[in-house]
C-alpha cells in the first residue's frame, strides 16, 4: 500500500511539474549580419515553449506575441526605412533572450535557379580583379546549402550571412553579386541576397505538391525511401574506401611510370564514378591507363583524348604533364603530346581529377577517349582503367534530387516564407530544354511557379525577374537551312518570353553573351547589370531602357516579310554597326526555313530570301546557339528570339 501511495505521489508531481523552458529557435535566415526588407512590415517568427510570452525589439520599437500550443509564434515589426547603421534585433521569451547584431535594413532579393545562378564569382570572368574589388560590406549574401525533403520544412539546413569582402565574395553567386553591386549604385541602400540555388535542377523541384498535382503523402514516402537507399549507397562507398589507408593520401608521384598501382581498382571509363558505386564521393581521385606506339609514331607525337572530366583535371603521359583544364565538367579534353614525352612501346597515362561536388570522374562519349598518332587514325582508350581515391569526402547523396518535384522547394524555399524580400531573380531552364515537348510544358510550369511563390509570400505582384537561356550548342536542335526547324532551347526561350504576360515581370536576354562551347558562360557581369536594369524598372519604377527589342508582328508580301519590333529604347540597331541584320530565316508554305537577308527600316526589319519567294513565316535567333543574331536597340540590349508561326 505504501509503495502504491508513493507511486501516485510521483505521478501527480510529474503531472503538475512545470514544463522545461525551450530556447527560442529562429529560422536560420535570422542571424548576425542579416538584411531586413525596407518599407514593408517585417515578419519575425520562431518557436519557443508553448504559451511563452515573446517580445521582439528593433530600432526602438517592441512587438509582443504569445507562443501557441505547438510553440510557434510570429510578430510583424513596423516597416522601416533603409538604414546602413548596424542595429540589434532582440528576441526575448523571458528565459533565454537572443540578440542578432549587425542588422541592416535595405532591399533583399531571392536568387534561385540552377547552376548559372549558383555559379560563383571565383569561377567567372576576371575573377581575381572582381574579388579584389568586392569591398562593399553593405552587400550581404546568405547561401542556403543544397538540401531536399519530402514535405515542407520549417527550418533551413544551414546558412550564414556574409558581408562582401575579398575574403568572402569569391563564393557569392556571381550574377547576384553583380546585380547587387549595380543596385547599390542606383539605390544607395544595403542589398541582401538570399542564394537558394542548385545546379542542374529542373523547375519541378522548386514547385510545391499542389502546383504539380502531386499527392503530398506519396511525395513524403518517396523521399523516405530515397533516403534509405542513399544511406545504403553511402555505406557501400565507405566499404570501398576502407580498402585503402584512412585519410588524405600523399599522391605525389602517382603520375610516374614506375609507380606501384597494384592496390588500385578497376573502373569503367567513360562514366561518372558514382555510376560505379562510388556514391556521394567528392574530392581528388586518380585514373591510369596505357597505350602503345611504334617508334615512328612516338617520334611524330600524338593527340590524346581523355573525355569529359567533372570538374577539373591534370593529365600526365609518362610522368610529364601534358594538359590541364579547370571547372569545365562538360568539355571533352584533347591534349597534344609532344614526341619528347613519348616512347616506343607502352606509354602510361595518369589523370588527376578534382570533383567539387555532384558527379565526378571521366565521363562523356566513348569516342572522346582516344590516342591519335600522326597518321590520323584514332585508337580507342575506353574500357577499364585503374582507379584510386586520394583526398575525398562523403556528402549526402544529392546527385538526382534536383530532378524531382517539390524536393528543393520543401527544403530551400518553404523555410524562407514569409521572410521579407523585394523580389526574385531566377536563372533556370537548361534542365527543362532536353526536348521541344518539355520546353513547351515550361510555358505552363513557369508562370504556375511564379504565382505559387507570390501567393505564399502574400504578394500578388512581387517583382520576378529572370535570365533567358544564353547561347549554347546543346546538340539537340535541328539546323535551319532548308528543313523544318526544331530547337528545344529556342522553344524554352519562347516559353520564358510568354511568361512576361504576368504583371511585375521582366526578362534579361543573353544570347549575345553566351558561349556555344560552355553551358556556363563566364561573363556574369553583363547578366547582373541587365538584371539590375530590369529591377530598376519593375521594382523601383524608373523609366529607362531595361530590355531589348521585342517582336510585335509580321506582315508578308511577295518576296519579303516586314517584321515590326518594339525597340523599348530609341531605335533599332545592329550590334557592331552595319546595315544588315543577321539571324533571320524565312519559310514558305512548305515549312522549310532558309537563311534570309534582313535590313532595318525604322521600327521594322525587312526580311528576304531568294529561296522563299512567297514567305509565310519568319523566325529570328531560332536555334540553341544563335551566336550570329545581332539585332539590338540604342542601349545595346539584344532582341529576344521569336517566331511568327506556331508550327
CA atoms of 180 and 164, how far apart (whole Å): 10
Query: Quick one: which of 621, 625, 639 has its CA closest to 515?
Result: 625
Evaluate if residue 337 carries a pLDDT over 80: yes
Is the pLDDT assigned to residue 480 strictly greater than 80? no
Task: Give per-residue pLDDT as tens, 36-88.
Answer: 999 999 999 999 999 999 999 999 999 999 999 999 999 999 999 999 999 99
Instruction: Return the pLDDT at 217.
Output: 84
Kindly state the helix (H) or strand (E) to which residue 454 belongs, with its residue range. Answer: helix 436-456
Positive or negative CA dihedral for 372, 376, 379, 380?
positive
DSSP secondary structure letter of residue 471: P
Confidence category of residue 376, pLDDT binned at 50, 70, 90: confident
Q: How confident is the model at residue 329 (pLDDT cuts 50, 70, 90)?
A: confident
Q: Is 476 exposed, middle or buried (0-12, 13-18, 19+ CB in 10 A)?
A: middle
Q: Which pLDDT score is estimated for 10?
A: 40
Q: Which pLDDT value is given to residue 406?
A: 95
CB 191 within 8 A of CB 183: yes
Preceding peptide of 568 cis, ω within 30°: no
Q: Are 504 and 461 in contact (CB under 8 A)?
A: yes
Determine the average pLDDT of the residues in 462-467.
Answer: 98
Whole-model pTM: value is 0.85
Least Cα distance to 39 among 190, 245, 157, 180 occurs for: 190
Pick from 179, 176, 186: nearest CA to 144? 176
Strands (E), 395-504: 423-427, 464-467
Q: What is the pLDDT of residues 535-564, one digit of tens each?
A: 999 999 999 999 999 999 999 999 999 999
Q: What angle do CA 132, 133, 134 make, to 5 degrees?
A: 95
Q: Phi and psi for 437 in degrees, rounded to 5?
A: -65, -45
Contact 165, 135 (CB under 8 A): yes
Give the strand pairing for 464-467 and 505-508: parallel
For residues 86 and 460, give the distance between their C-alpha atoms in angstroms, rounded to a whole number: 31
At 479 the pLDDT is 67
pLDDT tens digit sequence for 109-148: 999 999 999 999 999 999 999 999 999 999 999 999 999 9
Task: Using pLDDT thresholds of 50, 70 and 90, give the confidence band for residue 534.
Answer: very high
Q: What is the mean pLDDT of the chain?
A: 93
Strand partners, 619: 585, 643
Instruction: Flag whether pLDDT at 27 surpasses 90.
Output: yes
pLDDT at 22 over 70: no
3-state secondary structure (DSSP) of residue 348? strand
Q: What are the pLDDT digits (tens) for 607-639?
A: 999 999 999 999 999 999 998 999 999 999 999
Amino acid at each position: 500500500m505504501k509503495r502504491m501511495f508513493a507511486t501516485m505521489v510521483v505521478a501527480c508531481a510529474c503531472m503538475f511539474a512545470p514544463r522545461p523552458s525551450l530556447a527560442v529557435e529562429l529560422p536560420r535566415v535570422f542571424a548576425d549580419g542579416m538584411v531586413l526588407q525596407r518599407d514593408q512590415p517585417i515578419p519575425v517568427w520562431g518557436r519557443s515553449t508553448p504559451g511563452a510570452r515573446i517580445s521582439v525589439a528593433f530600432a526602438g520599437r517592441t512587438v509582443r506575441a504569445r507562443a501557441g500550443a505547438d510553440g510557434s509564434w510570429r510578430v510583424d515589426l513596423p516597416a522601416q526605412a533603409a538604414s546602413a547603421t548596424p542595429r540589434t534585433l532582440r528576441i526575448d521569451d523571458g528565459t533565454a533572450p537572443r540578440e542578432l547584431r549587425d542588422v541592416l535594413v535595405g532591399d533583399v532579393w531571392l536568387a534561385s535557379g540552377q547552376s548559372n545562378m549558383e555559379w560563383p564569382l571565383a569561377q567567372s570572368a576576371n575573377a581575381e580583379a572582381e574579388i579584389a574589388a568586392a569591398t562593399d560590406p553593405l552587400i550581404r549574401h546568405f547561401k542556403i546549402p543544397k538540401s531536399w525533403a519530402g514535405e515542407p520544412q520549417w527550418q533551413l539546413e544551414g546558412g550564414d550571412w556574409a558581408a562582401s569582402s575579398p575574403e568572402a565574395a569569391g563564393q557569392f553567386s556571381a550574377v547576384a553579386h553583380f546585380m547587387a553591386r549595380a543596385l547599390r549604385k542606383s539605390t544607395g541602400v544595403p542589398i541582401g541576397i538570399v542564394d537558394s540555388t542548385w545546379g542542374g535542377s529542373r523547375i519541378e523541384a522548386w514547385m510545391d505538391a499542389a502546383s504539380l498535382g502531386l499527392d503530398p503523402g506519396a511525395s513524403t514516402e518517396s523521399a523516405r525511401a530515397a533516403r534509405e537507399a542513399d544511406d545504403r549507397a553511402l555505406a557501400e562507398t565507405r566499404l570501398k574506401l576502407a580498402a585503402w589507408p584512412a585519410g588524405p593520401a600523399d599522391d605525389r608521384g602517382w603520375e610516374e611510370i614506375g609507380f606501384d598501382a597494384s592496390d588500385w581498382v578497376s573502373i569503367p571509363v567513360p562514366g561518372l564514378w558514382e555510376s560505379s558505386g562510388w556514391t556521394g564521393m567528392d574530392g581528388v581521385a586518380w585514373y591510369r591507363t596505357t597505350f602503345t606506339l611504334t617508334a615512328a609514331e612516338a617520334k611524330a607525337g600524338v593527340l590524346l583524348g581523355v573525355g569529359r572530366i567533372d570538374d577539373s583535371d591534370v593529365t600526365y603521359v609518362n610522368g610529364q604533364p601534358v594538359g590541364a583544364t579547370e571547372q569545365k565538367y562538360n568539355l571533352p579534353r584533347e591534349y597534344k603530346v609532344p614526341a619528347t614525352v613519348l616512347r616506343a612501346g607502352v606509354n602510361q597515362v595518369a589523370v588527376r581529377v578534382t570533383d567539387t561536388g555532384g558527379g565526378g570522374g571521366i565521363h562523356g562519349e566513348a569516342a572522346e577517349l582516344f590516342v591519335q598518332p600522326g597518321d590520323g587514325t584514332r585508337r580507342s582508350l575506353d574500357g577499364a582503367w585503374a582507379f584510386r581515391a586520394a583526398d575525398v569526402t562523403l556528402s549526402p547523396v544529392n546527385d538526382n534530387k534536383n530532378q524531382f518535384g517539390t524536393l528543393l522547394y520543401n527544403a530551400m524555399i518553404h523555410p524562407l516564407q514569409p521572410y521579407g524580400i523585394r523580389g526574385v531573380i531566377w536563372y533556370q531552364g537548361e534542365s527543362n530544354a532536353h526536348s521541344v515537348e518539355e520546353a513547351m510544358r515550361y510555358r505552363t510550369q513557369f508562370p504556375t511557379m511564379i504565382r505559387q511563390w507570390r501567393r505564399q509570400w502574400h504578394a500578388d505582384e512581387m517583382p520576378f525577374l529572370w535570365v533567358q537561356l544564353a547561347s549554347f550548342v546543346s546538340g539537340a536542335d535541328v539546323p535551319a537551312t532548308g528543313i523544318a526547324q526544331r530547337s528545344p532551347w529556342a522553344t524554352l526561350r519562347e516559353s520564358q518570353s510568354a511568361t512576361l504576360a504576368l504583371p511585375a515581370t521582366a526578362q534579361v536576354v543573353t544570347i549575345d553573351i553566351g558561349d556555344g562551347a560552355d553551358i556556363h558562360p563566364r561573363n556574369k557581369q553583363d547578366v547582373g547589370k541587365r538584371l539590375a536594369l530590369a529591377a530598376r524598372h519593375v521594382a523601383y519604377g524608373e523609366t529607362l531602357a531595361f530590355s531589348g527589342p521585342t517582336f510585335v508582328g509580321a506582315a508578308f508580301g511577295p518576296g519579303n516579310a516586314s517584321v515590326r519590333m518594339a525597340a523599348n529604347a530609341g531605335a533599332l540597331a545592329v550590334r557592331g554597326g552595319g546595315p544588315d541584320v543577321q539571324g533571320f530565316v524565312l519559310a514558305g508554305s512548305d515549312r522549310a526555313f532558309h537563311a534570309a537577308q534582313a535590313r532595318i527600316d525604322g521600327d521594322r526589319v525587312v526580311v528576304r530570301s531568294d529561296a522563299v519567294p512567297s514567305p509565310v513565316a519568319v523566325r529570328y535567333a531560332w536555334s540553341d546557339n544563335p551566336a550570329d543574331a545581332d539585332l539590338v536597340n540604342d542601349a545595346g540590349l539584344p532582341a529576344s528570339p521569336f517566331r511568327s508561326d506556331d508550327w
